[in-house]
Chain A
Amino acid sequence: MNKKHCQADLNSKTNHDHGFNKKSAGRPDLRVNLAGIDLANPILAASGPFGYGHQYRELFDLSLLGGIIVKGISPDPWEGNPPPRLAETTGGMLNAVGLQNPGLENFLKEDLPCLRGSGTKIIVNVVGCSVDEYAAVASRLDGVEGIDGLELNISCPNVKAGGMAFGTDPASTSNVVSTVRKQTGLPLLIKLSPNVADITSIARAAEEAGADGLSLINTLSGMLIDIEKRAPLLGNTFGGLSGPAIMPVALKMVWQVAGAVKIPVLGMGGINSARDALQFIMAGARAVAVGTGLFYNPDLPAEIKEGLLDYLQQQRLPELKSIERIAQNPKGEE
């Protein structure tokens, strides 16, 4: 662990409030409340691509983000899948990292201290192979300083055992959410898989079991074949598709879920610009997250933030809330 690194970050805390407390009195208000978490702006780093923030902080000030959803944490370290883990596709990419992570205690010891004081909200993504594992992580994180919320990954398609099963049927979703709910007072988001027949039934089950918000979508399950080797390209055979190619799918599911539940929705899936982000908000998302886009444009969060402000200003709207879900009820429609 690099101490110097942490220090540098604490110093950047002065920027904490930028966007609404400065003399930008005339600028629209980007603050939103997501599942009980007050965010300075509605742009988050999605769980996975961003790791634990150590690296991207070298490229931009983390306080630029409304929040960071750290890469999935399990009770014990997970080794992840054999390489190759990545493949680019038209308009997207497949990954089969396999939720490699250092485990709960290493995260608390090595990663979290560097995130404290970074001037952004920290949401911990939780993964597990059993309900007990989810509950163990949630219970350990409850009340830990510097953690603002949890996101349960009940949808990652990479892990052969566990993960997938919870998020693909309402009963098991309900079971894991209600169990975790009892373990934590932290705001609780549930991340939904798109690889289901009816995402709204899973969304309702999560809401009824006590979720404070829903994150969607996780990656779409897919694969590629290496025709020279005549074998699957990814070490894990199957991977998760992300990137601009999945944006319309994600948007549709955000629309459907936002219409089916009362709790707020965090929209993600191929967001590539402020225009994309606006579409998610108009479909019913309270906030948005970026993932794959950071790989080819680390300035994406800053560009989205500016783009949202510009749009609101042009439209003479005081806050983002004015357009949330607006496309669900366009004027003049019965």
Chain B
Amino acid sequence: MSRLNKQRGAKPKQENCLVGNKQIIAPGYCRLTLHAPLIAREVYPGQFVEVYMPPEHQPMLPRPFSVYKANRKTGEIVILFEIKGQGTRLIAAAEAGASLKLLGPLGNGFPELPSGAVLVAGGMGIAPLVFLASSTDLPRTLIYGAPTVAQLACPSSDLDMPGLTILEATEDGSKGDQGTTVDLLLRCINNAGAVFACGPCPMLQAVKNISARAAVKAWVSVEERMACGIGACVGCAVATPGGYKRVCKDGPVFAAEEVILNE
């Protein structure tokens, strides 16, 4: 692969977006609808947007979010995120009718889902996988897990899709099976068409190992601190057998065997 590997699909654009519906869907979790017709038209599952901070604010750097839903017809995209630090607090404070500047669509997303795909979401890793799950009607399974029910923030109405089987797990048993996404994946890996995962690093590492052992192709969406979001600054490095790659431009979705997932 060339060092100058480009993202598939459209060039990124800056777009001033009107904030639409905003919902605090669970304590500490926000679902934000943005009117972003240029981005909505071209974004595909696994890609992300950078949301710029309102001017003159701290922090300054834009924050990357996977696209959770996109509607070409209405020109709307939705992001789902945990309100975790100053940046997400500021974005979650935007009210309907306010304007936020976005840069997108960014990065390389997921390939098309085959029949029998298994999607593995750990916590907020659900965000890109909802968009991915909505991209087909083929039979597919979503494994969704978190430490407790409080972190299974995605509203179940958003997961109501034809042909989608949902398996849930929490470590404390407060919802679904008691256990982890990895336990659930072990149960269905042998019938999986391919695996698509997003979540914490240790989970991605386990997904990578399990899929490799079962000889099932796996794709992982990786997270790293970012600055430019377009591949220029080389700040968001992820280790690969061929040296560091850029999460924002070469990823965020990588073939599992292509990345070295530490921690």
Contacts and interface: CB of A to CB of B under 8 A. Distances in A.
Interface of A: 1-2, 48-51, 54-56, 58-59, 71, 79-88, 90-91, 93, 95, 97, 100, 102, 106, 110-111, 243-244, 292, 294-299
Contacts of A82: 237, 239
B224 A55 contact: no
Contacts of B235: 85-86, 95, 97
A244 B57 CA distance: 12
Interface in B117-171: none
Range of interface residues on B (Cβ < 8 Å): 20 to 34
Interface string B237-263: 111000110000100000000000000
Given A51-B232, A79-B244, A88 B4 contact: no
Nearest to B249: A55
A2 B230 CA distance: 16
B72 interface: no
Contacts of B232: 49-51, 54-56
A96 B212 CA distance: 33
20 contacts: A1-B2, A2-B6, A51-B231, A51-B234, A55-B228, A59-B12, A80-B234, A80-B237, A83-B236, A83-B244, A86-B226, A86-B227, A88-B225, A91-B58, A95-B227, A97-B234, A97-B237, A102-B3, A295-B62, A296-B53
B249 to A, nearest CB: 7
Given A1-B4, A100-B244, A294-B228, A85 B236 contact: yes
Given A80-B244, A88-B59, A88-B60, A295 B228 contact: yes
Name B's interface SS.
loop
A2 B4 contact: yes
B61 interface: yes
A83 B227 contact: no
Interface of B: 2-4, 6, 11-12, 14, 52-53, 55, 58-62, 103, 224-228, 230-239, 243-244, 249
Nearest to B10: A58
Contacts of A299: 14
Nearest to B237: A83
B147 to A, nearest CB: 16
Contacts of B58: 90-91
Nearest to B60: A296
Contacts of A83: 224-225, 236-239, 244
A64 B234 CA distance: 23
A296 B226 CA distance: 11
Contacts of A244: 60
A279 to B, nearest CB: 18
